[in-house]
């Protein structure tokens, strides 16, 4: 005899998970097609044929929704970088970092609106500060790059600055907290941050079209910059 009672907890869970996935797909579609300002609870409810109050059962606020989307995109990006990393030997962190950097550029060029949401934060709710839902996923992404830099540091090829201004100390200590007890000198972490800044900057200016005035093919510039970064980290660049 078929039960006609309330759905089982497992079925309710599946229905809820399916709805949450559809909400994220819809939010991402609005982001890609219309830009970040289009991601509203009302617009998503309209696209899904729901009432706005019905959507509040899944995301009670705009901030909650944007945090969910930001977390999802960081997880997707981190997975892409990890896959690229693992195509290279674990004994070759320099080759792994080159592959990861190229994958970051590929993902960003393929998903410019998503890249913009994560790295230019056009919406204040796309925050990754401690205590936000997107904090840990953002550090999963960052940890892939940072861990490879730490591996290169262990090989002894990094030449850090001999002195570091005191204004850096507190800020760089916060980065070191994410290194799971690794005793990385702050001068070396400064090199890490400087290298990440160059990598991000080179990708971002291309993604947002700010090299169009000079270059029809930014690939050689990216590869040259990447070689400079690997050299600064003491990695073989041949």
pLDDT one-digit tens code per residue, 40-84: 999 999 999 988 888 888 999 999 999 999 999 999 999 999 999
**pLDDT value at 213 more than 50:** yes
**pLDDT value at 100 more than 50:** yes
Burial class (CB in 10 A: 0-12, 13-18, 19+), 13: exposed
Quote the tokens at residue 237. 């660049």
Burial class (CB in 10 A: 0-12, 13-18, 19+), 184: buried
pLDDT band of 189, cuts 50, 70, 90: very high
pLDDT at 18: 84
Tell me whether domains 1-60 and 70-232 share a fold: no
pLDDT at 162: 83
pLDDT at 238: 63
Helices 41-48, 9-34: inter-axial angle, 10-degree rounding:
110
- pLDDT higher at 6 or 36: 36
The residues spanned by each domain of the chain are 1-60, 70-232
**No. of helices (H) and no. of strands (E), the chain:** 10, 0
Q: What is the CATH number of domain 1-60?
A: 1.10.10
Domain 70-232 part of CATH 1.10.3470.10: no
Closest CA to 177 of 130, 141, 118: 130
Lowest mean pLDDT among 18-22, 40-44, 214-218: 18-22
pLDDT band of 1, cuts 50, 70, 90: very low
What single DSSP character describes residue 181? T
pLDDT at 131: 92
């Amino acid at each position: 005899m078929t039960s006609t009672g309330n759905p089982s907890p497992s079925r309710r869970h599946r229905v809820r998970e399916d709805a949450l996935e559809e909400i994220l797909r819809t939010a991402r579609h609005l982001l890609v097609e219309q830009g970040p300002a289009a991601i509203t609870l009302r617009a998503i409810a309209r696209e899904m044929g729901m009432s706005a109050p019905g959507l509040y059962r899944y995301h009670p606020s705009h901030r909650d929704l944007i945090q969910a989307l930001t977390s999802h995109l960081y997880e997707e990006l981190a997975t892409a970088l990890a896959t690229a990393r693992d195509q290279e030997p674990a004994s070759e962190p320099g080759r792994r970092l080159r592959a990861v950097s190229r994958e970051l550029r590929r993902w960003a060029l393929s998903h410019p609106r998503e890249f913009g949401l994560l790295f230019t934060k056009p919406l204040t709710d796309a925050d990754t500060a401690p205590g936000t839902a997107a904090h840990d996923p953002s550090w999963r992404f960052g940890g892939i790059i940072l861990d490879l830099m730490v591996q290169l540091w262990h090989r002894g090829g990094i030449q850090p600055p001999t002195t570091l201004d005191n204004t850096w100390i507190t800020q760089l200590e916060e980065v070191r907290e994410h290194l799971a007890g690794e005793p990385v000198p702050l001068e070396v972490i400064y090199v890490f941050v400087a290298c990440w800044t160059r990598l991000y900057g080179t990708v971002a200016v291309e993604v947002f079209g700010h090299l169009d005035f000079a270059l029809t093919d930014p690939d050689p510039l990216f590869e040259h910059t990447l070689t400079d970064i690997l050299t600064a980290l003491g990695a073989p660049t041949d």
